[in-house]
A and B are shown apart, each in its own frame.
Chain A
Amino acid sequence: MPETLTTTQAGHGSLPPIDEDPFRWDGDGDGNGPNERGASRKTSLIGLVVMMCASVMTFAALASALVVRRGMGNDWSKMPLPWILWPNTAALLVSSVVLDVARRLLNHGKRMAFNWVWSAGTLLGSCFLAGQIIAWRELNARGYFVAANPSNGFFYIMTWTHAAHAIGGLIALIWVAVMALRFRFGPSRRTFMLVSLVFWHFLDVLWVLLMLLFVYYG
């Protein structure tokens, strides 16, 4: 008599146990614990790389649309970049360096130093976003509206898209900073720190490429 399937049976191909709280963080973040297999470091980094591929495609689509749109009409007029983009770029790059220093400190077991350096890096990252807002306001005040010229349109949409990424990254950085300052930052959560750091570096690369595009082409 072959064994029959019942819907209460555990194992492959049967109905699963019910999650009581879907947002509960059961595992220790390193792949130990229920439902958290994927939280191991390598898996998280692979997931991050896959996500970054999607982001690259998004910006590549926007950049190719920019190139095509510019070649298509004779209405393109290059918009002067607001000066604040330069200190902004510096803030972003320095924040990345500072955050990476924090990671190295943590690797050497210097928890207190990590807390302060990471928080400083996070603050610099927030400065970048605040600076972006100032840049948009300045452009608007000088009459470079989004609809005034396709060059402006692409500038706004690409910087908005980058800022949307940066907001996500910043939330991760702040979460790590808060956890670290409250001394709730055991070895298990270091994967999250690493992932958010790599993503922040990725935002640097994206931003530098965007700046090159705006300065030399857009």
Chain B
Amino acid sequence: MLFARNHRTIGLQYFFLSLGSVVLGLVLSLLMRFHLVHPESTLPGVGDIPPELYLAFLTMHGTLMVFFVLTLAPQAAFGNLFLTAQLGTEEMAFPILNMLSFWTTALSLAIMVLAFFATGGGPLSGWTAYPPLSAAGGVAGPGQGAGQTLWLIAIAVFCLATLMSAINFITTTIELRAPGMSLMRMPLTCWNWFITAILSLLAFSVLLPSVLLLLADRLAGTSFFLPSGLLIADQALPNQGGSPLLWEHLFWFFGHPEVYIAILPGMAVVSHVIATFSRRPVFGYRAMVYAALSIGFLGLLVWGHHMFISGINPYSAIAFSVLTLIIAVPSSIKTLNWIATAWGGELRLTTSMLFALGFVSLFITGGLSGLFLGQPVLDQYFHDTTFVVAHFHIIMGVAAIFGIFAATFYWFPLMFGRMLNERLGKLHFYLTFIGAYAIFLPMHFTGFAGNPRRYADLTSFQFLAPLLPIHVWMTDAAYLTAAVQVLFLVNLFWSMKRGAPAVRNPWQATTLEWAQGPVGVVYRGPCDYGVTGTAKDYLMQHEAEPCPKP
């Protein structure tokens, strides 16, 4: 069972691995918020929080959330669980490879946790691990010794795991669709898992050699990313001629597609959840497919917008800026289509639907602040402030997590044969929705006021003193929002064992994972809701003829 090769077990393994990681990441974020408003206090069990420990919390929070939650849960967990069923096939293309990719991921997580407890302190370079400090080794201070090396090894192992997984997803989607399941009949979830897998393949295969180059700088004394004449802690480094900018280019070539790797599967889940619970076809199915494809394609071309203040050529900054702003077009198409799908529909406000609608709200909010950051002139001011933190937490963090929640409530009947508690779920949704905005909206304002990122202690700066009450508010909101997540965990584990038994197709959905028994031939796309002249208002993809009215 542990080394199972079937996609379902592997999907559940990924699901619980992500769940464990998200709990760890959440606890770390609470520790950071606590320290920001009570910098003098010690923590029971942890003691004093020196700046390097704060930064280690920050690094581990970002790494766990970006790699082990947002990369794994939407794609590897739900993709493994439902891709094959939605395509009408039984198993992934390479079951053994699938099993290996999960266990390689688990190994990577184990190394990452070890890194946190390494002698000399946990890694503190953030999830982006910018050189030169991350490349200089132990001389660069606490956390830059064994901790940083282990962090890089863990990421390299994670890259291998993700590449194996991507090979499986792409091959399965190309080759193992049921008869009649043409590309344009695939559910949008399959489309976006496919596009995400392609992005993963192209992005992680670049991150892997980049990490190897950085490891070589640390362990073999090379100078890929270390410039000449570097003086760290009164010590002159012998390295010559390298450039941290080279790392930034390589890293963000991975890092920006990573944002879409996190959000694309959630977008597709939202499309189908809104369609199912509005009883209307996905508005503009083809437009949704092309929008997702263009988001994926453009996502590969815009990495430079993370480097506007790193000293890149202003002309290339303009090119990156224009390409970045163009992404607003397919994103707007998607947003419009979600609203148009629900418009005039017969809305069923289940918890899943609420999370999907919450996703749309967060996507709009986070997208709009992205327009600020996509312009080099404005980014000059915003880049190292909490405005950026607020932006990416809303769009990449909370929105993607809302996608995961929507998916969990939607597919729970198929995962465990039972239903999640809807009343508890709705309470969880409303409090989380309010809580998320309560944390991250004010964070934009502290960013406007020039509050820098990654500062462990805000009390030592006069210009930040007026902002402290806002930080107290955000911290309180974070406590509340985190406490609310206990409702979800209780709901999840209680419903797994004692929830109401699920019926075969409780949401009356059209896609094949809800089909009874093996699927023969696929006759239609995934959007046949609101069908008239039949006994029910929908047709599943493998149903040939409308059932006559009784």
Contact status B220-A147, CB under 8 Å: yes
Q: Residue B517 at the A interface, CB < 8 A? A: yes
How many pairs of residues, A versus B, come closer than 8 Å at their CB atoms? 184
- Of B4, B89, B170, B512, which one neighbours A19 at CB under 8 angstroms? B4
Contact status B206-A57, CB under 8 Å: yes
Q: Residue B96 at the A interface, CB < 8 A? A: yes
How far, in whole Å, are A54 and B208 apart by their CA atoms in the complex? 10
Q: Which of A39-47, A78-86, A118-126, A199-207 contacts B (4 or more CB under 8 A)?
A: A39-47
Chain A contacts with B in 1-59, Cβ cutoff 8 A: 2-7, 11-19, 22-23, 35-38, 42-43, 46-47, 50-51, 53-55, 57-59
Contact status A61-B95, CB under 8 Å: no
Contact status B175-A15, CB under 8 Å: no
Residue in chain B with minimal CB distance to A47: B171
Contact status B93-A38, CB under 8 Å: yes
B351-368 to A contact mask, C-beta < 8 Å, 1/0? 000000000000000000
Contact status B175-A61, CB under 8 Å: no
Chain A residues with CB under 8 Å of B417's CB are 5-7, 14-15
Q: Residue A153 at the B interface, CB < 8 A? A: yes
B148-187 to A contact mask, C-beta < 8 Å, 1/0? 0000000000000001001110111011100000000000
- Of B9, B205, B223, which one neighbours A57 at CB under 8 angstroms? B205
From known contacts A11-B516, A42-B175, A47-B167, infer whether A35 and B95 are also in contact, taking CB-CB under 8 Å: yes
Chain B residues with CB under 8 Å of A57's CB are 201-202, 205-206
Contact status B176-A38, CB under 8 Å: yes
Q: Residue A157 at the B interface, CB < 8 A? A: yes
Contact status A37-B222, CB under 8 Å: no
Contact status B93-A7, CB under 8 Å: no
Contact status A43-B175, CB under 8 Å: yes
How far, in whole Å, are A11 and B97 apart by their CA atoms in the complex? 23
Contact status A61-B210, CB under 8 Å: yes
Chain B residues with CB under 8 Å of A47's CB are 93-94, 97, 167-168, 171
- Of B167, B228, B241, B514, which one neighbours A13 at CB under 8 angstroms? B514
Chain B contacts with A in 1-21, Cβ cutoff 8 A: 1, 3-6, 8-9
Contact status B201-A18, CB under 8 Å: no
Contact status B250-A51, CB under 8 Å: no
Chain A residues with CB under 8 Å of B85's CB are 12-13
Contact status B501-A73, CB under 8 Å: no
B228-257 to A contact mask, C-beta < 8 Å, 1/0? 100000000000111100100110010000
Chain B residues with CB under 8 Å of A5's CB are 413-414, 417, 501-504
Q: How far is the CB of A92 from chain B (nearest CB, A)?
A: 21
Chain A residues with CB under 8 Å of B240's CB are 73, 75
Q: Residue B513 at the A interface, CB < 8 A? A: yes
Contact status A12-B512, CB under 8 Å: yes
How far, in whole Å, are A16 and B172 apart by their CA atoms in the complex? 19
- Of the four ranges (under 10, 10 to 19, 20 to 34, 35 or more), the interface on chain B belongs to 35 or more
Q: How far is the CB of B258 from chain A (nearest CB, A)?
A: 15
Q: Residue A174 at the B interface, CB < 8 A? A: no
Chain B residues with CB under 8 Å of A50's CB are 166-167, 170-171, 201
How far, in whole Å, are A73 and B213 apart by their CA atoms in the complex? 17
Q: Residue B99 at the A interface, CB < 8 A? A: yes
From known contacts A7-B416, A57-B205, A65-B246, infer whether A43 and B1 are also in contact, taking CB-CB under 8 Å: no
Chain B residues with CB under 8 Å of A169's CB are none
- Of A62, A68, A73, which one neighbours B209 at CB under 8 angstroms? A62
How far, in whole Å, are A17 and B91 apart by their CA atoms in the complex? 13
How far, in whole Å, are A60 and B210 apart by their CA atoms in the complex? 11
Contact status B501-A4, CB under 8 Å: yes
Q: How far is the CB of A9 from chain B (nearest CB, A)?
A: 8
Contact status B221-A147, CB under 8 Å: yes
Chain A residues with CB under 8 Å of B504's CB are 2-5
Chain B residues with CB under 8 Å of A153's CB are 216, 220, 222-224
From known contacts A35-B5, A68-B246, infer whether A150 and B241 are also in contact, taking CB-CB under 8 Å: yes
Contact status A12-B518, CB under 8 Å: yes
Chain A residues with CB under 8 Å of B204's CB are 54
Contact status B206-A38, CB under 8 Å: no
Contact status B8-A146, CB under 8 Å: no
Chain A interface (Cβ within 8 Å of chain B)? Answer: 2-7, 11-19, 22-23, 35-38, 42-43, 46-47, 50-51, 53-55, 57-62, 65, 68-69, 72-76, 146-147, 150, 153, 157, 161
Q: List 21 A-B contacts (CB under 8 A).
A: A3-B516, A4-B502, A4-B503, A5-B417, A15-B8, A16-B4, A16-B8, A19-B6, A37-B89, A37-B91, A38-B172, A43-B176, A46-B93, A51-B167, A55-B205, A65-B210, A68-B243, A72-B243, A76-B241, A146-B222, A157-B212
In the complex, besides A35-B5, A61-B253, 12 extra interface pairs with C-beta distance below 8 angstroms are A12-B85, A37-B176, A43-B175, A61-B206, A61-B209, A61-B250, A65-B250, A68-B243, A69-B241, A69-B243, A72-B242, A157-B213
